[in-house]
Amino acid sequence: MRTYRQRLLAAAATVPAAAMIAVTGAAAAGAGTGQPIASLNAVTVTTKGAMAVGADSISTFLNPLCGTDMSVSRGTSRWAAVKTPSPSCGWLSSVAGLPGNKAWAVGYQTNSSGVTHTLTEYYNGSAWAIESSPNPGATAMLTSVTVTPSGTVWAAGVYYNSSGDQESLLLKRTGSTWTPVSAPGLAFLEGITSTPGGQLWAVGYGFNGDYLNNSTVILMQTGSGWKQVPSPSPGKGNGSYLYSVAAGPDNALWAVGKYYDSRTAAPHTLTVRYQSGKWAQVPSPTPGPADDWLYSAVITPGGQVWAVGGATSSKCESNLAEEYAGGAWKVVTVPDRGACTSSNANALYGVTATSTGTLYAVGESDISTLVEQNTSGTWKIVPSDN
C-alpha cells in the first residue's frame, strides 16, 4: 500500500497535472463515499508551539487531489484539531509561522468541473481564513510557503499555460495582496526557503529534453530577479526530483528528493548540498528495497540536518528519517504505527525544529494523521487529532 502523498507524487511525475485532475475528479464522482484518509503534509514552529496542516480526504485512492483542508496545533497533551475554512476539494501543502502566533498556509482547491486553483489561508492567532490568490493559468497550485527574516511571505508552485505546459509559479505577498513574480523554467516547484540572511531559494523538477525525462530544478533570487542554477540530476534519463529545500546557520543549504538510477532504474533518496557556490550530490542511504524518497528537510538552530520521507518494501511503506552527522547521512530509527502489512502504510511529509532543537515530524499512518517528536535523540509518536 502506498501512502496518500506517494500516490500523488507518482501521478504528478508521470501525468500532466491538468489531465491528472480531470481523471481523478471523474473517478471520484463515481467512487461513492469511500473511506476518509487524514494526512498532515507540513509543520512549522509558532510563537506558542507548533502548527501542522494537511487534508482530510474521501476516496483518496481514486482522487488524491480531493479533500478538505485541515490543521492541528500542539497542545499540552496532544496535537488538537484547529478549525479551517474547509473549501470543497481543498488541500494544504505547506505552512510557515509568523510572529504573534500567526501563520500562512498554501495549497490548492479543485472545483466541481475539475479545475484546480491556488489556495492561501491566513491564521491571525486564533482563526484561519481564506485569502484571495492569483491563478496565472487555467490550472494552478501552490506547494510551499516561506517567510524571510524581514517578514516578507513567498509561495511557490506550478501553473499550466494555454499550451498545457507547466511553468514555475512564484507569489509574493505585497501589502494585502499576492503578486505573481516572474520565474524562469518550465518547472514544478515543490519547495521554497529563505536563508537567515534573506536569500531565497526554490527547488523542484522539470522536463529535460536531453534526458527526455524530469530533472531537478533549483532557482535562486538575485538582484535582477530569479534565475535557474545548475543542479545535480543523477537519475538522468530515468528521472530526478527535488521536493524540499532547507536553510540554516552558517549559510547551510540542503535540498532533498529522489531519483531513479540511470543504469538500473532503481529508486534512491537524493540529497544535494550548496557549497562554494555550487550544488553537489551527497550520498544518502536507501534502506527500502522497493521505493524510497525524502520529502522534507530541516536545519536546526544548532546546525543539525534532518530529512524525512518513506521507505517502501513489498509489504508496506515505513517512515524514514535520516540525519547528516559526522560528514555522512545515516538512517535513524523512527517508529511506525501498526504492523507492516499490505493494508498499512506510514510516511513522513514534513519536519521542523524549535529554537531549543526539539524536532517535530508529521505525515500519515494508514488512514490517520501522524505526529512524531524528538526531544532527546529518540523519536516517539505523540497523539494527534484527525
Instruction: Read off the pLDDT of residues 277-298 as tens digits, 9 standing for 90 and up.
Output: 999 999 999 998 888 999 999 9
CA 132 to centroid of chain Cα atoms: 22
Q: Which pLDDT score is estimated for 210?
A: 86
Question: What domains sit in the chain, N to C, each tagged with a CATH number?
Answer: 4-382 (2.120.10.30)
The grid cell for 211 is 534526458
Q: Which pLDDT score is estimated for 278?
A: 97
Q: What is the DSSP letter of 264?
A: T
The grid cell for 57 is 480526504
Cβ atoms of residues 364 and 346 within 8 Å: yes
Lowest mean pLDDT among 62-66, 69-73, 162-166: 62-66
Phi, psi of 266, deg, nearest 5: -70, 140
pLDDT, tens digit (0-9, with 9 covering 90-100), for 83-135: 888 776 788 999 999 999 999 999 998 877 778 899 999 999 999 999 999 99
**3-state class (DSSP) for residue 137:** coil
Q: Which pLDDT score is estimated for 344?
A: 76
Query: Which segments of 209-325 are extended strands (E)?
Result: 213-222, 225-229, 240-247, 253-260, 267-275, 278-282, 291-299, 305-312, 317-325
Q: What is the DSSP letter of 301?
A: T
Cβ atoms of residues 5 and 332 within 8 Å: no
- Amino acid residing at 262: S
Q: Which of 11-15, 32-36, 74-78 shows the highest mean pLDDT?
A: 74-78
Task: Return d(Cα 87, Cα 109) in angstroms, integer.
Answer: 7
What predicted TM-score, i.e. pTM, was given to this entire model?
0.90
The grid cell for 295 is 520529502
Mean pLDDT in residue range 44-72: 72
